[in-house]
Structure 1
Amino acid sequence: MKILVPVDGSTASINAVKKSIEVAKKFNGTIKLLSVVHIDSLQNYLRYKKQWSQVDGSAISELDPEQKKIEDKMKENSCKILNAIVEKLDFSNIHTEEEVLIGEPYEVILEAAKNENFDLIVMGNRGFSKIKRFFVGSVTQRVISDSPCPVLVIHSKSDI
């Protein structure tokens, strides 16, 4: 069983990783942890970089103004999150992969699920209210709607 687990560092995504480990151990599965650097984050950074540097140049000065270097820094931060998860949780006897991609999160998740023939997606739900989800949208909701495979949604407050 191939399991895809989108990770963003939130409590809900960490709980999803924990549940995916349980499922993988029970069904002799493999796990791919996927972190997606949201393209809007890059665009917002570039848009507001000049204003932020006027407020606190030290916070932003590490990042190069060129988008490629910013992307690399954001990918590096996502890799650190994935590595910390792998180090802290027990993945013994489970083949695990990690990958960081850039794009619209729900599109990247769906594309990976389809192209790599995953059997299951395990992901967190941040617990948006119905009203907020209506206006903001939800990555989880969009993945559920268009997924080529079953999706197991783990609540952020789940005691896993």
Structure 2
Amino acid sequence: MAYKILCPTDGSETARKAAAFAAALARMIPGATITVLTVITVPRSFAGRHFYWRVKEQPEALQKEFTALFREEAARVIEETAALLRAQGVTPETMIREGEPAEEIIKCAQEGGFNQIVIGARGFGMISLVLGNVAYKVVQLSPVPVTIVR
């Protein structure tokens, strides 16, 4: 059975460092695989301004437009991270999920049978893994070992 590494990303500097660490780890373990994950979520600053609820109240076309923007950003972040891994000799799988970041990371780790999670210590972003709090939650709830990269 292959060793499976889950590498959540939001495109931040620490997420890129975590991806580089995951690539180095995968190269040391014969047959290891990496899956890059990003989670689309409504940023708290938007939610605090009721942005999210305004979108929910808008016509369906506007909701689709905002959803498309979040998905576009998620795809950009995933591709950027995948390119970084490919440059280091690792061909990753990619995945985009929607929801609360820590919960989705944990669900993904459980459902995918991952052996380890490699995550950045802090992050940013519209699609956002705000990784100070997220990394902490992942460590607390994870069924598998978690490596936090600074």
Band of TM-score, shorter chain: 0.7 to 0.9
Map of 1:106 onto structure 2: 102
Higher radius of gyration, 1 or 2: 1
The equivalent residue for 1:38 is: 41
CA contact (8 A) 2:36 2:81 kept: no
Which residue is 1:5 aligned to?
7
1:115 match: 111
Q: Deviations over 1:49-100 (max 9, x none)?
A: 7xxxxxxxxxxxxxx522x3322220111111111222244242x3411111
Match of 1:20 in 2: 22
Q: Aligned partners of 1:88, 1:27: CA distance in 2, in Å?
A: 19
Residue number in structure 2 paired with 1:134:
none
Aligned match of 2:127: none
The amino acid that maps onto 2:100 is E
Give the TM-score normalised by structure 1: 0.72
Question: Structure 1: which 4+ aligned runs deviate by more than 4 Å?
Answer: 40-44
How far apart, in 2, do the equivalents of 1:145 and 1:46 lie? Answer: 28
Percent of pairs with identical residues: 28
Matched position secondary structure for 2:119: strand
Equivalent pairs counted in the alignment come to 130
Shift of residue 47 of structure 1? Answer: 4.2
Which sits farther off after the overlay, 20-29 or 38-47? Answer: 38-47
Determine helix, strand or coil for the equivalent of 2:10: coil
Is contact 2:20-2:84 (8 Å) kept?
Answer: no
Q: TM-score, normalised by structure 2?
A: 0.77
Give the whole-Å Cα distance in 2 for the aligned partners of 1:85 and 1:146. Answer: 25
Distance (whole Å) between structure 2 residues aligned to residue 141 and residue 98 of structure 1: 23
Summarize the alignment of residues 118-137 of structure 1 with structure 2, pairs less than 5 Å apart: 118-126=114-122
Cα pair 1:121 1:150 within 8 Å, conserved: yes
Task: Find the counterpart in structure 1 of residue 62 from structure 2.
Answer: 65
List runs of 5+ in structure 2 lacking aligned partners.
56-60, 124-131
Q: What are structure 1's unaligned runs of at least 5 residues?
A: 50-63, 128-136, 156-160
Give the conservation status (yes or no) of the 8 Å contact 2:42–2:52: no
Instruction: Find the partner of 1:82 among 70, 78, 83.
Output: 78
- Match for 1:22: what amino acid? A
